[in-house]
Chain A
Amino acid sequence: MASDDVRTLSEALAADPSSLVFLQLGEALRRRGDLDVALRVALRGVERHPQLADAHDLAARVAADRGDLDRAVAEWETVLQYAPDHIGARKGLGFVCFQLGRLADAGAHLGAALAANPEDASLAAAIQTVQAALEQAALSEPTIAAERATVPVNRAALPPESARAEVDAGALFDDLLEGQHSAALLLDADGLVLAGRYQATDGRDLAADVGAQLSGVSDEASRAMRHLGLGAWRQIVFETEAASVAMAPSRDGVLLVAAARPIPLGFVRRVLERALDRANSWLGGA
């Protein structure tokens, strides 16, 4: 939404502070990343309309974007007091509970949302993700193994068949990773897997889950780049307890390499660069 629209909505709210235009204004501010201002708008709306479920829903979504998950949970639980069938609140609670590791609660909220809207494919996919996480939690800690398997592929985002190299999408990076406890994934702009694989030691494929979780980091980087004056981002690398992760933009998506922690960060970057060349060639049909 353009800043002119935000200005128009702000003026409309100033002219009539009791109107519900704060819902549109808060959402517009949230979408463009002005989270502090969006939260102020939302909380002012909650003060004026304490029994309006959508006001609490707005406050919850802004809080979730700010990483204030406890506040988000509290606001969405308030939504359910006033509107027990509010699908947005159920979805939001499912997402936040998943982030907090409350997997059973996440499953319950998403299940309730799916019951109210059985045709929502994204809910069914989210429940599958929660179920996989529950199963994973019951097993030993996963490690990365570069073994052959089939990866769910977002066919719609692939280049035309004639332009694609004749290789198995799941195996696109296998030779770059051979012998290493590492994985490479090519994701589209929605975080869906285009190529690559990520397997746990028990053979389960975690590509879709890992890709969906980590693709948000590149979105955050793109947002930061608009304000920092450093030009476009080229790489993000970060170390965690279990893995080193490197990411780079690739056409409309992102390439991600994850390697078990003993593998040096510099090696991970080299793999990323080589995999990026491979991915761009594959997308271009070279």
Chain B
Amino acid sequence: MHAPFSQLTESLIRHRGVLGAMVVGLDDGVMVHSTLQVGVNGNAFAALTASLYRKAQRSAGAAGFGATGFLELLAEQGRVCAVGGENLVLVVVCETRVNVGMLRVDLLRAVEQLS
């Protein structure tokens, strides 16, 4: 039996350079479902990315920019991408070499299934 989000995360992790894909509670940062490569600390990425996404949502709302969609954090040794649904956020951890454009399109498509 497959978890409700397994097809979604498994399709995302097929991207070259993606190390993990997670469905995370937006309010509490708790992981709902994940497909991770060995060694990826999913719980830390889930909690901290959800927190960053909430902060971006609140800040953008307060600045008059409206609802937040795709978010990407680029760091020295990797990237984290996220797209929020109604109560869930889809989080992808990847290497810097990932094709962000393709990943963004798939994330925006996938997040429609979260609602």
Within the complex, what minimum Cβ distance (angstroms) separates B92 from chain A?
13
Q: Is the CB of B55 within 8 A of A217?
A: yes
Q: Is the CB of A67 within 8 A of B27?
A: yes
CA distance A273 to B75 in the complex (A): 15
Within the complex, what minimum Cβ distance (angstroms) separates A213 from chain B?
4
Q: A3 on the interface (CB 8 Å rule)?
A: no
Q: Is the CB of B68 within 8 A of A240?
A: yes
Q: Is the CB of B48 within 8 A of A231?
A: no
With A228-B45, A230-B77, A233-B73 in contact, do A213 and B62 touch (Cβ < 8 Å)? yes
Chain A, range 73-100, C-beta contacts under 8 Å to B: 98-99
14 additional contacts, CB 8 Å, given A220-B55, A242-B66, A265-B104? A67-B27, A99-B58, A142-B64, A217-B56, A220-B52, A230-B78, A233-B73, A233-B75, A236-B72, A239-B68, A240-B69, A242-B65, A265-B70, A266-B101
| Residues of chain A with a CB closer than 8 A to B52's CB | 217, 220-221, 224
Within the complex, what minimum Cβ distance (angstroms) separates B107 from chain A?
11
Chain B, range 90-104, C-beta contacts under 8 Å to A: 101, 104
Interface residues on B, range: 35 or more
Q: A210 on the interface (CB 8 Å rule)?
A: yes
Within the complex, what minimum Cβ distance (angstroms) separates A188 from chain B?
17
CA distance A146 to B109 in the complex (A): 33
Chain A, range 200-229, C-beta contacts under 8 Å to B: 209-210, 213-214, 216-217, 220-221, 223-225, 227-229
Nearest A residue to B76 by beta-carbon distance? A231
Nearest B residue to A209 by beta-carbon distance? B63
Nearest B residue to A215 by beta-carbon distance? B59
Q: A283 on the interface (CB 8 Å rule)?
A: no
Q: Is the CB of A237 within 8 A of B66?
A: no
Out of A99, A227, A237, A265, which one reaches B48, CB within 8 Å? Answer: A227
Q: Is the CB of A238 within 8 A of B64?
A: no
| Residues of chain A with a CB closer than 8 A to B75's CB | 225, 228, 230-234
Q: Is the CB of B55 within 8 A of A216?
A: yes
Q: A235 on the interface (CB 8 Å rule)?
A: yes
Within the complex, what minimum Cβ distance (angstroms) separates A236 from chain B?
5
With A237-B72, A239-B69, A241-B65 in contact, do A214 and B60 touch (Cβ < 8 Å)? yes
Chain A, range 132-176, C-beta contacts under 8 Å to B: 136, 141-142
Chain A, 229-271, contact with B by CB distance < 8 Å: what is the 0/1 string? 1111111111111110100000000000010000001100000
Within the complex, what minimum Cβ distance (angstroms) separates B74 from chain A?
4
Q: Is the CB of B70 within 8 A of A228?
A: no
Q: Is the CB of A238 within 8 A of B54?
A: no
CA distance A239 to B67 in the complex (A): 9
Identify the interface centre among B54, B55, B69: most chain A CB within 10 Å of its CB: B55
Q: Is the CB of B66 within 8 A of A241?
A: yes
| Residues of chain A with a CB closer than 8 A to B60's CB | 213-214, 238, 240, 243, 245
| Residues of chain A with a CB closer than 8 A to B51's CB | 67, 220, 223-224
Q: Is the CB of B62 within 8 A of A98?
A: yes
CA distance A276 to B6 in the complex (A): 40
CA distance A265 to B58 in the complex (A): 20
Q: B36 on the interface (CB 8 Å rule)?
A: no
Out of B49, B68, B101, which one reaches A238, CB within 8 Å? Answer: B68
Nearest A residue to B48 by beta-carbon distance? A224
With A67-B54, A214-B63, A240-B65 in contact, do A229 and B76 touch (Cβ < 8 Å)? no
| Residues of chain A with a CB closer than 8 A to B76's CB | 230-232, 234
